[in-house]
A and B are shown apart, each in its own frame.
Chain A
Amino acid sequence: MTRSARRTRRTMQVAGAGAAALLALSACSSSDDSSAESGSSASASSADKLSGTVTVFAAASLKESFSALGKEFEQEHPGTKVTFSFGGSDSLAASITGGAPADVFASASPKTMAIVTDKGDASGTPATFVRNQLEIATLPGNPDKIASLKDLTKSGLKVVLCDKTVPCGTAAQKALDTSKLKLTPVSYEQDVKAALTKVELKEADAAVVYKTDVNAAGDKVEGVDFPESADAINDYPIVQLKDAPNAEAAKAFIALVQSADGQKVLTEAGFLKP
């Protein structure tokens, strides 16, 4: 064998091993929290003039309405920038207690908010700013003729629920329990948007999500109301975080969410008033 052949072979293998290491890193990054980072340099320069970045961690279901409010905030306060991290409330809470630098936390349930307040990471008491009701999302035109929560238990129907650790999953389980229904989904998704996406892609026949998510998806899904959802309405609390790098802007953003303007955006998206 020639020397160059040996070298080629080794290069291939080293490249393979290196790529393995890289992939392993990228595969795990989603479960890391960013505890290594601490204290961003952004801070309010003066009390009345807001500036810098305000970082908002918000439940996945708030994506559309909070993005709109973020733009409004940036227009009202030139020089500021609102960055969002949307996700399952439980994983957001876990990264906040793990030290992720954020200014505001808006969760989809008091239980996930308690993870943050119990650790003493919140400044002040959380305030409920909206409530959200569950709805069944079906394929456009509702081809499986789903009319009630009970219809989801029909055999052969592919239903996805949120995982029980996220608020929409807890609420769905509560609705199922109170009506004494046993539902075996094909998957427990990690947040409400992931559950909705499975229906949008037509991989699942139905999902139990929030009314606001059905609204946001437009004509890609069809919503079916069910009376049991009244027993499982989620309160959405919002709070400023203790280690907020930009406390002034955080206060202003929470004020905007609770203002008449903010509430209008949220109720138009399908949220209920607190």
Chain B
Amino acid sequence: MTSPTDAPDRSAAAADTLRGGPRRGRVRTGFGRGVPLPLLVPALLGLAFLVLPLIALLVRTPWHSLPDQLTSPEVWQALKLSLLCATAATAVSLVIGVPLAWLLARVEFPGRGFVRALVTLPLVLPPVVGGVALLMALGRNGIVGKWLDAWFGVTLPFTTAGVVVAEAFVAMPFLVISVEGTLRAADPRYEEAAATLGASRFTAFRRVTLPLIAPGIAAGAVLAWARALGEFGATITFAGNFPGRTQTMPLAVYLALQSDPEAAIALSLVLLAVSVAVLAGLRDRWMTSS
């Protein structure tokens, strides 16, 4: 079994998904020792398939007109809105997603497997379907939205809050799954030990569990943030498209592609740069901390 000194290493492993898997006990084969061709060829094909479109984007980038494209106020407006909404959606997911993950991992209740399946459903649902479902639920005429409008005068479609709702709907399952996985792997005996020392269950969660699973939460938050940043289908369906209010970068890219492909490429490049910057930044931090 494990020793307490092992604990930080184990919880840090939660970020493995983004770091390229655990580094222990892996069988490595050098190229010199003969990589089997039936594996090597598809592997290289797979690599090319993933990288080629990004290279094509760089090749076709209109570098001479790029400064003009990127300094236009529309681009900054869309980028600012995208970053704001993705961050807000991640925050919402953290506030309600982490407790949900704890519930799924630590509390035995009938139908837990079914509830877990429900939670992961938005993950496999086409985002546009998610947007339609959100309209039916939270739209001005939706089953809940009707009352929000009547009682509080709140309508979500066509508002920035609507964008956050749409993004949180698609992104939160990533966080819940990641945090739940980390929680299940974390040893519950630490919480039990805290309880024997007189801590309430909530205190144990706050002071013991939360620090233990922090890397898992961070990994889940990054996944959720990235998913929210790229969200298109649910956003355009639920929140519509208005510059500065609901037009995020992916919407701007899609609409620019119709009329001005060069602008679309420039916008795509910005999104690519943001994604790479975020991944690189987090990678450094986790590498040094582990």
Which residues from B are CB-within-8-Å of A188?
A: 240-243, 255
Which residues from A are CB-within-8-Å of B157?
A: 186, 203
Q: How far is the CA of A202 from the CA of B136 in the complex (A)?
A: 11
- Residues 65-121 of A contacting B (Cβ, < 8 Å): 88, 90-91, 93-94
**Is B2's CB within 8 Å of the partner chain A?**
yes
Interface size on B, residues (CB 8 A): 50
Taking a contact as CB atoms under 8 Å apart, the answer to whether A14 and B240 are in contact is: no
**Is A153's CB within 8 Å of the partner chain B?**
no
Taking a contact as CB atoms under 8 Å apart, the answer to whether B240 and A186 are in contact is: yes
Binds A, one of B61-69, B80-88, B176-184: B176-184
* 0/1 string, A167-200, CB within 8 A of B gives 1: 0000000000000000001111110000000100
Which residues from B are CB-within-8-Å of A94?
A: 257-258, 261
Contact (A1, B185) CB under 8 Å given A10-B16, A28-B232: yes
Which residues from B are CB-within-8-Å of A22?
A: 124
Q: How far is the CA of A203 from the CA of B240 in the complex (A)?
A: 10
* 0/1 string, B10-47, CB within 8 A of A gives 1: 10001011000010000000000000000000000000
Residue of B nearest to A2 (CB): B1
Taking a contact as CB atoms under 8 Å apart, the answer to whether B10 and A1 are in contact is: yes
Point out the residue from A9, A15, A17, A31 that lies within 8 Å of B184, measured CB to CB. Answer: A9
Taking a contact as CB atoms under 8 Å apart, the answer to whether B158 and A158 are in contact is: yes
Residue of A nearest to B183 (CB): A9
Taking a contact as CB atoms under 8 Å apart, the answer to whether B17 and A187 are in contact is: no
Taking a contact as CB atoms under 8 Å apart, the answer to whether B141 and A12 are in contact is: no
**Is A5's CB within 8 Å of the partner chain B?**
yes
Residue of B nearest to A158 (CB): B158
Taking a contact as CB atoms under 8 Å apart, the answer to whether A5 and B241 are in contact is: no
Point out the residue from B124, B170, B240 that lies within 8 Å of A160, measured CB to CB. Answer: B240
Which residues from B are CB-within-8-Å of A20?
A: 174, 223, 226-227
Which residues from A are CB-within-8-Å of B140?
A: 202-203
- Residues 169-212 of B contacting A (Cβ, < 8 Å): 170, 174, 177-178, 180-182, 184-185, 187
Contact (A26, B181) CB under 8 Å given A31-B254, A88-B258, A91-B258: no
B30 to chain A, nearest CB (A): 25
* 0/1 string, B150-163, CB within 8 A of A gives 1: 00000001100000
Between A and B, how many residue pairs show CB distances below 8 Å? 127
Taking a contact as CB atoms under 8 Å apart, the answer to whether B185 and A6 are in contact is: yes
Residue of B nearest to A11 (CB): B181
Taking a contact as CB atoms under 8 Å apart, the answer to whether A163 and B17 are in contact is: no
Taking a contact as CB atoms under 8 Å apart, the answer to whether B141 and A16 are in contact is: no
Q: How far is the CA of A17 from the CA of B95 in the complex (A)?
A: 22
Which residues from A are CB-within-8-Å of B177?
A: 12-13, 15-16
Write 24 A-B pairs (CB below 8 A) sorted by A numbering.
Answer: A1-B1, A1-B185, A8-B185, A12-B181, A13-B16, A13-B177, A13-B178, A16-B17, A16-B177, A16-B178, A16-B223, A17-B17, A26-B127, A90-B259, A94-B257, A94-B258, A165-B255, A165-B258, A166-B258, A185-B242, A187-B246, A189-B241, A198-B240, A201-B139
> Which positions in A face B, CB cutoff 8 Å?
1, 5-6, 8-10, 12-17, 19-20, 22-24, 26-28, 30-31, 88, 90-91, 93-94, 158, 160, 163, 165-166, 185-190, 198, 201-204
